[in-house]
Amino acid sequence: MRQRHFFILISSVMISGLAQGLLLPLISVIFEQNGVHSSLSGMHATAMYIGVLIVSPLLERPLRRYGFKRLTIIGGAIVIVSLAIFPIWSSLLFWFMLRLLIGIGDHIFHFGTQTWITYASPAHRRGRNISLYGLSFGVGFMIGPLLVPLVHVHETLPFIVSSLISLCGWVLLFFLPHAYPETEQAEKIGTLRFFHAWKQAWPALLLPFGYGFLEASLHSMFPIYALRNGLHVETVAIMLPAFALGGIAFQLPLGVLSDRFSRKAMITVSLTVGSICFIIAQWFISPVPLTVTFFVAGMFVGSLFSLGMAYMTDLLPKSLLPVGNILCGMLYSIGSICGPAIGGIVLQQQERLFFFSVSSLLFLLLLAQRPLTKFSKYFSKKTRKKH
């Protein structure tokens, strides 16, 4: 992949992150202003993740038939049209369906771009390229909420602005060349492609699940924990971005280090430091120590998704990369749904154990890496003998 084409891809990913980062808080603000109950607003937000789970199993064959470029263009078009028609009708059901469509379109787009990047990146630059992908989305996602105040000018203005910005990124996709994944070896494996991909790469595939769980749990449940312990809303609004900022600041260095040393070593360090940080966090309730702890934790576990993708690419043959990327997206969505649900139960039963539950998940992922990696290597050898 040429440098110019790679720049176009990560630029369009940044714009996608901006639109998604705007949409989540924007609709929550509009619902709050209109008196919609917070629990209903939370359920409404799951529409995007449901869309991801619906479309994920259906994406591999279209990718092989139409190629990376056409698939990303289709996904981007769905998102742009959905954003543009939000102002037509202010209805909970209508907006739920639009969020579902955005989840579908956004996942089609990201499946195409991330599979293309993992497929075309050489091994010695794989961590760097995938971390730049994650960094671009993270920067866009962080900028997105800055457009929310446009709702005070007019409720429809943020939707119009985000759809126009997304259109600019979408146009760039037409300057990319056509490219297709390998199909011959995948067809030989047959209908068991998902099974083979899972067996060979599940140590890596656990990491997107962990990141989705962590990100959704912190953003949805930590504000409740903080308010119950006497922190103000304004303070929480400063603390949460510290985690995202830490992830953005250290995303590229971790990716480069994983290329130079080993993916597994960086994953081990990241999970260890992250687990320790959240154990420490449960002993703090003052804003400054918690913010510092969040930033340090974000520096390491904020890169779990991109490290997981790079590790998955190391473990799988190119013929199974589309399936591996589908599983990454599905497990991230499942983690994003499970995080708030389990976090809510913990807060209801014993709120002091909130950070302990997050730390426990990271520790279990750490313990899982070594034995799972041994098993996946054994299974990989058996599979190669058969084929």
pLDDT digits (tens, 9 = 90+) for 142-152: 788 788 888 88
Is-same-fold flag (1-181; 186-387)? yes
Reply yes or no on whether the pLDDT at 119 is more than 50. yes
Reply yes or no on whether the pLDDT at 230 is more than 90. no
pTM above 0.85, yes or no: no
Bigger pLDDT: 231 vs 163: 163
For residues 52 and 4, what is the distance between their CA atoms, to the nearest angstrom? Answer: 29
At residue 189 the predicted structure's pLDDT band, cuts being 50, 70 and 90, is low
Bigger pLDDT: 69 vs 155: 69
Bigger pLDDT: 385 vs 35: 35
Fold that domain 186-387 belongs to in CATH = Growth Hormone; Chain: A; (1.20.1250)
Residue-wise pLDDT for 325-359, tens only, equals 889 888 988 888 888 778 778 877 777 788 888 89
Reply yes or no on whether the pLDDT at 212 is more than 80. yes
Given this model, what pLDDT does residue 98 score? Answer: 93
Reply yes or no on whether the pLDDT at 198 is more than 60. yes
Reply yes or no on whether the pLDDT at 244 is more than 70. yes
Reply yes or no on whether the pLDDT at 157 is more than 70. yes
* Paired tokens of 154: 């007019």
For all residues of the chain together, what is the average pLDDT? 84
For the chain, give every domain's residue range.
Answer: 1-181, 186-387
Given this model, what pLDDT does residue 186 score? Answer: 59
For residues 64 and 334, what is the distance between their CA atoms, to the nearest angstrom? Answer: 25
Reply yes or no on whether the pLDDT at 372 is more than 50. no
Find the DSSP H helices in 191-320. Answer: 193-228, 233-260, 263-281, 287-301, 304-315
Residue-wise pLDDT for 59-91, tens only, equals 888 888 899 999 999 999 999 999 999 988 888
3-state secondary structure the chain: CCHHHHHHHHHHHHHHHHHHHHHHHHHHHHHHHCCCCHHHHHHHHCHHHHHHHHHHHHCHHHHHHHHHHHHHHHHHHHHHHHHHCHHHCCCHHHHHHHHHHHHHHHHHHHHHHHHHHHHHCCHHHHHHHHHHHHHHHHHHHHHHHHHHHHHHCCCCHHHHHHHHHHHHHHHHHHHCCCCCCCCHHHHHHHHHHHHHHHHHHHHHHHHHHHHHHHHHHHHHHHHHHHHHCCCCHHHHHHHHHHHHHHHHHHHHHHHHHHHHCCHHHHHHHHHHHHHHHHHHHCCCCCHHHHHHHHHHHHHHHCCHHHHHHHHHHHHCCHHHHHHHHHHHHHHHHHHHHHHHHHHHHHHHHHHHHHHHHHHHHHHHHHHHHHHHHHHHHHHHHHHHHHC
| 85 SS3 class | coil
Contact 317, 384 (CB under 8 A): no
Contact 338, 290 (CB under 8 A): no
Residue-wise pLDDT for 16-60, tens only, equals 888 888 887 788 778 777 777 766 776 777 788 888 888 988 888
Fold that domain 1-181 belongs to in CATH = Growth Hormone; Chain: A; (1.20.1250)
